[in-house]
Structure 1
Amino acid sequence: MVLPGLLPGACGTPLISLLLVCCLLPPGAPGQQFPLRVEVQSPVVPAGGSFLVNCSTDCPNPNLIALETSLSKEPVGNGLGWAAFQLFNVTGDTQVLCSGFCNDVQTTGFLIITVYRFPERVELLPLPRWQPVGENLTLRCQVAGGAPRRNLTVVLLRGEEELSRQPAVGEPAEVTAAVLAGREDHLANFSCRTELDLRPGGLGLFQNSSAPRQLQTFGFQGPILNLSEPSAPEGTAVTVTCLAGPRVQVTLEGVPAPAPGQPVQFQLNATETDDRRIFFCSATLRVDGEILHRNSSVQLRVLYGPKIDQAKCPQRLTWKDRTIHVLQCQARGNPDPTLHCFQEGSRLEVPIGIPFLVRLNHNGAYSCKATSSRGTQTITVVMNVWDRNARAVSIVLGVLAVLGVVTICAALLYVFGVHRHSDIYHVNQGSTSLPLTSRQPEEAVGEDPS
């Protein structure tokens, strides 16, 4: 069949066929989808409150429209393609889900509900009773409660001047900021404020401020702590002085000044033990019955030549060949010295504090020299390296020598024993013409039978 007004074969083109199918499909025909809408007056609701949810669709044949939620609910009305529900006691962010059927096909829709709470407590923590002028003042604000936290900001204020703006993190949230206290901050009011921004959800910007706190500042000169020689050569006389402004009492290393407003000082002869020594000076000022304190410190550097600690640098070492060892040796001084150990004669350098393989050529005496701009110091370290094979040969030779001595001793004892048991000769007193006769000691002497 060819529709009137169309050329034969035109229906064969894919585009025209698709348009014809779409135009001829009746409303609600199978294959056509109708979304299920979830509507509320505002997706942001106060904690503990209630809100109305409307589930609706344009499907001409809707069926079984329902609301799925963990909250308490109550149907308040329905009609063709819609159903309304009242939800109660919302305590936290939640999701509401509408479901239904359109032409026997299930369809769903959902919406996230955000619950907001105003902070329960906004407090600027107490300020120092007296704040020194010229030093940093740390402001700390604590915020308990408040939701959603992603929309909650904490602002620190001096009067109406904004000093810092930070997100509220943690529970309770604590926000800190440091500001330099000046003389103009005396009796100034400091506070903090929270801002819960619900404008993206159709609501407004909600602010909650802490009670203001008043700052009292004080300022006095000092204490000023000086060294006559901040970097003094060893043996130099160094004078340490501490002073402050009028009416200020200073104390240096536990020694007070003669009277308020006067300096205190002492002198020392700089030695190696004074290097990096820290001197402390405190200043006190009485204001309106309050005693205010400030402190100062300074470090002395003493310049002295290299010194090798012989307790940490052994002068005689005995090591085996082909073993790993570390030569431990330390030198001190200011400025820091360099330390090198060279073998006498060959100038072979042995690393210090680093593992190395000991060989026979390391055997010998070493000059360990510490050097800096303040001088040098040298000590001798003797390193004895023995060959394990040579030691074994020495042991064998020693054993053989002992065996040889034992053998010789045994032979001498044997010979001596043989001589002791040899013949004994007697002189015949009856006639001098007869030859000597021998008598064996083992034989018994018999009587003449006649």
Structure 2
Amino acid sequence: MGSGFCSHPRGFWLTGAAMSRRGHLAWFLAGLLLVPCGQSTVSFEVRVEGNSSEVGYGGTVLLNCSSSCPQAWAPRGLETSLSKERVSQGPGWVSVRLRNITEPLSDVLCYFSCFGERKVAAFRVLAYEFPQPQLTISSPNTSSNETVAIKCFSAPSWPPGLKLQLHRSHRHQQAWEEGPISLELVAREEDDGAEFSCQAQLSLGNQTLRKSSPTATLRVTYQPRMDDRSCPPSQNWTEGQDETLRCWAWGNPRPHLECAKDREPFPAGVPRPVTRAHAGTYLCQATNPLGTTVRSVSVWVQWILGVLGVLVVLGFLRVLRVLGILGFLVVLVVLEGLEILGVLGVLVVLGILRALRVLGILGFLVVLGVLGLLVVLGVLVVLGFLGFLMVLVVLGVLGLLVVGDHDPDLLLPVLVCVVVVATLVAGGVGYGIYYRKKKIREYRLRQRQRRLQMEPPRPGQDDAPHNDGGAPP
């Protein structure tokens, strides 16, 4: 065999704290024995593979050591300071399991001796320690506006580089941080039921490990609450139909709700047939150990005739808007007409006065008759217009009664419309009467002046004695 019997050692030589003292001694002795040997004439390779090079603290790794040596049962072995057991072996390979790995970093040596030549391959095992993250909440059950301290932390990891994140449900999550995370939260109503957890991650090579603490729920207690959405302050019901008093409260602990009308209990949320007697004010009271909230609810009951009456009144109000505008225009036209008639009346009176010179007393009697007829017709027109005004006022009052019973918000607009229309009509009528009387007074004054001018002078006025006592010439 000659020089093929032994050769210089080739392969892997390790130094450092990871190799045991016994391993160093074995390699030193092997080197002393093999130094005098000559060169090997056989070429082969040694490989070692494992199911994982990173394992949790106290974990297990399965290694397979193989060689391309043509000597089927060449001497082989695996050197390590870790606990090991041979699983199986065959021609050119051997399988070994490493157990209870607690050393942070270990190098495992696999060797084969092929025709006296020894080669070594190394496998590095990283035993990481990834502790469980923890979450603490100072007051898991707190009251509204109280401060709560929340902390996310973990023991040190191996290798270093553990990062934490405080996770909250239904919220944008914060960035990962090294070291413990603390949060001071002022508890509010919307924080009730919020879930928190402490997340941790550790990067090992090209993979990232993650763990999470158990989820903790924050409970916030607060007084009962009611608003316009949960308990509307004004509700409309219809007579004969099944209606429900809409009112509910929320709080923590869950409040107890009681509603009553005239001190008689009336459960909310229970359908029942409606009568007119259900109209009125209801008081709803929500109570829990932290306090009490009271809310008033006004219920309006509408019946079929009432609904029709409201529709009629609303339609009548719309008509009044149109009639009010038209009536105002009519009053303006009437006033303009009265001015024209007044001018024409003056002209007629002047003509009548000229005719009186001819007709004398007969003409004067005819004029009086005509004036009396005009007065009678004017009185009839005024009475008819006042009657129409009274009808409008009565309808307006009826509308006020109907609307006031069902919707007080419409009472003021209806009242204003009626007052405005009545004021316009009364003003137009009053102005017409005033204008007519004024024209009559002017006419009588002119008639008296003309009468005085038309009377002949009395006898004896021109025969008055002179101052000198003589006779006239």
Identify the structure with the greater helix proportion.
2
TM-score by length of 1: 0.39
Larger Rg: 2
